[in-house]
Amino acid sequence: MEALDRLHTTGATHHRIMVLEVMGRYAGWIALEAAIAGGADVALIPEIPYDINKVASKIENRRKRGKNFSIVVVAEGAKPIGGELTIMGTRDNGAGVDNTKLGGIGQVVAKQLQEMTGLEARNTTLGYMQRGGTPTAFDRVLSTKYGTKAMELALEGKFGTLAVIKNGKLDSVSLEDVVGNNTKIGAVSGNTEESNLRKVTMDDDLVKTARDIGINLGD
């Protein structure tokens, strides 16, 4: 959100398309929430293969209304309809690990949009900067609530569970519900049944909210 706030300044003053590539190999939670919180015009996520022509049309429509800049958030795992993931390289970290190093989709999207719209486009890859920082008051209260709930569960002899917030209240779920069928110690590829990856579904409130406020999802 903070990065998008800053990109708005350059985009508006220099009449540019500002593309922000964020983490999100198989799930678009970061991109989607950042786009909503930061007032982006487009959000491209792994769950929705995008049509670059639809994105360009969104930007053109904004220009017709006198808005000569646009903000585009792209998850690193976003891919075009019928296309593949943009891969920066490969590595060999052992079995069960995603050995494809993603990165570069933001630059690809920026180049395409510049060619299609005639507006200058710049890409920023946020990378690990989005992981760090000082926790907010909300973060600190939430972690404390989780800690006290975990202690309650332990005192009650309820092991093999995880403290969670469900329907706005502290609760617990089994570890199987969290990790799926993963019985291995160590990293497991995030796009397998064993990982139990939670992807954005099309009926999620975030998707509806994004569409309702005019964020283009590339479809």
pLDDT at 4 over 80: yes
Annotated domain spans of the chain:
2-132+200-212, 137-179
In this predicted structure, what is the pLDDT of residue 187?
A: 59
pLDDT of residue 201: 93
β-bridge pairing 87-90 and 42-44: unpaired
Average pLDDT, the chain: 89
**What pLDDT was estimated at residue 94?**
64
- 73-101 tens-digit pLDDT: 999 999 999 998 898 887 777 665 677 78
The 10s digit of each residue's pLDDT in 143-198 is 999 999 999 999 999 998 999 998 889 999 988 777 766 666 555 667 776 677 78
pLDDT in tens, 113-143: 999 999 999 999 988 777 778 888 999 999 9
CA 122/CA 16 separation, integer angstroms: 7
Can you name the CATH fold of 2-132+200-212?
A: Rossmann fold (3.40.50)
Per-residue pLDDT, 98? 73
Q: Which amino acid is at 64?
A: K
Q: Residue 16 and residue 32: Cα distance in Å, rounded?
A: 21
What average pLDDT score do residues 199-208 get?
94
CA angle 172, 167, 30 (to 5 degrees): 90
CA 71/CA 10 separation, integer angstroms: 10
The label of the residue with tokens 């800690």 reads 147
Both tokens assigned to 184: 């291995």
Q: Rg of the chain's alpha carbons, rounded to an integer?
A: 20
Q: What is the Cα–Cα distance from 129 to 115, expressed in whole angstroms?
A: 29
* pTM of the complete model: 0.86
Please give the pLDDT value at position 112. Answer: 96
